[in-house]
């Protein structure tokens, strides 16, 4: 992943100098250099940079005002102030800036800051990709994130609902109808009025007298109503 950088400085020579330093760091690319706050807002809307290097003293909009506007429109943006004015550092960090670098620039400091940013952004990106495949569940001890593929079944035990994964059991107050809607995209189905099942973890359907049971890969067994038996067999026939 190449991180896009926006440089904002009203002195063209400074912007080009920063660009030279930044582009020596693998994994980052200077998408554009803007010479004013207004131009920076226009360019940011086009290029959606993850990192912005910005000066404080600019003619139409100072760096602090620009930073506030950028953060409002793009919450996950990282700000690095690169300026000759040390007096604004506290205000800059209140805007959640990542670093405050003073002129004349120390090249090693800039590269070190970029290396830390690359590591932080990559870590956040990997965490998001994991959570993108999960659903949020409110349990008795707080919110957790579960991968639907690890859920064996949901069981109604009023007034609570039991979530049984491959390794743990959770208790929640969410109703079966709610979970049925949440898990519908993952092909979960109702096998009994008290159970919602993950078809991918079913080993076999077993007749038990006049009723049926579902044997799971984990070795557990749960109830299967006669009404849902044929439907579930059809689902299992075409599961992938």
Which residues belong to CATH 2.40.50.1020 in the chain?
A: 135-237
Q: Render the burial of 5-25: b for 16+ CB within 10 Å, e for the rest.
A: bbbbbbeeebbebbbebbeeb
Is residue 15 within 8 A of residue 7, CB to CB? The reply is yes
Question: pTM score, two decimals?
Answer: 0.55
Give me the pLDDT at residue 240, please: 43
Which residues belong to CATH 3.40.50.2300 in the chain?
A: 3-131
Architecture of the CATH domain 3-131: 3-Layer(aba) Sandwich (3.40)
Express as a percent the part of the chain with pLDDT over 70: 95
Q: Tokens at residue 84, please? A: 């000759």
Burial class (CB in 10 A: 0-12, 13-18, 19+), 27: middle
Instruction: Kindly report each contact of residues 217-220 with a partner whose C-beta sits within 8 Å and lies 24 or more positions away, as own/partner.
Output: 218/152, 218/166, 220/152, 220/164
Give me the pLDDT at residue 141, please: 78
**Cα 47 from chain centre:** 20
Give me the pLDDT at residue 214, please: 94
Give the fold, CATH level 3, of 135-237.
Answer: OB fold (Dihydrolipoamide Acetyltransferase, E2P) (2.40.50)
C-alpha–C-alpha distance, residues 120 and 70, integer Å: 19
DSSP 167: S
Give me the pLDDT at residue 186, please: 86
| Low-confidence residues in the chain, pLDDT < 70 | 1, 126-132, 238-240
Q: Which of 2, 1, 5 is nearest to 110 (CA)?
A: 5
Give me the pLDDT at residue 127, please: 60
């Amino acid at each position: 992943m190449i991180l896009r950088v926006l440089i904002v400085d009203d002195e063209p020579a400074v912007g080009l100098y920063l660009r030279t330093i930044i582009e020596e760091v693998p994994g980052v690319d200077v998408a554009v250099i803007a010479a004013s706050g207004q131009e920076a807002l226009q360019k940011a809307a086009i290029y959606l940079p993850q990192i912005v290097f910005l000066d404080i003293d600019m003619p139409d909009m100072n760096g602090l005002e620009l930073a506030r506007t950028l953060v409002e429109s793009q919450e996950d943006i990282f700000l690095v102030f690169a300026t000759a004015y040390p007096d604004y550092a506290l205000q800059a960090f209140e805007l959640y800036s990542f670093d405050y670098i003073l002129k004349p620039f120390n090249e090693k400091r800039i590269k070190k800051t970029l290396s830390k940013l690359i590591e932080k952004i990559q870590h956040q990106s990997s965490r998001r990709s994991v959570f993108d495949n999960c659903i949020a569940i409110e349990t008795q001890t707080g919110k957790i994130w579960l991968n639907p593929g690890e859920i064996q079944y949901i069981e109604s035990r009023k007034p609570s609902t039991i979530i049984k994964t491959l390794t743990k059991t959770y208790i929640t107050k969410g109703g079966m109808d709610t979970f049925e809607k949440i898990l519908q995209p993952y092909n979960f189905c109702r096998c009994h009025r008290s159970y919602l099942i993950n078809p991918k973890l079913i080993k076999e359907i077993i007749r038990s007298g006049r009723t049926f049971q579902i044997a799971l890969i984990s070795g557990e067994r749960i109830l299967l109503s006669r009404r849902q038996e044929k439907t579930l067999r059809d689902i299992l026939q075409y599961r992938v």
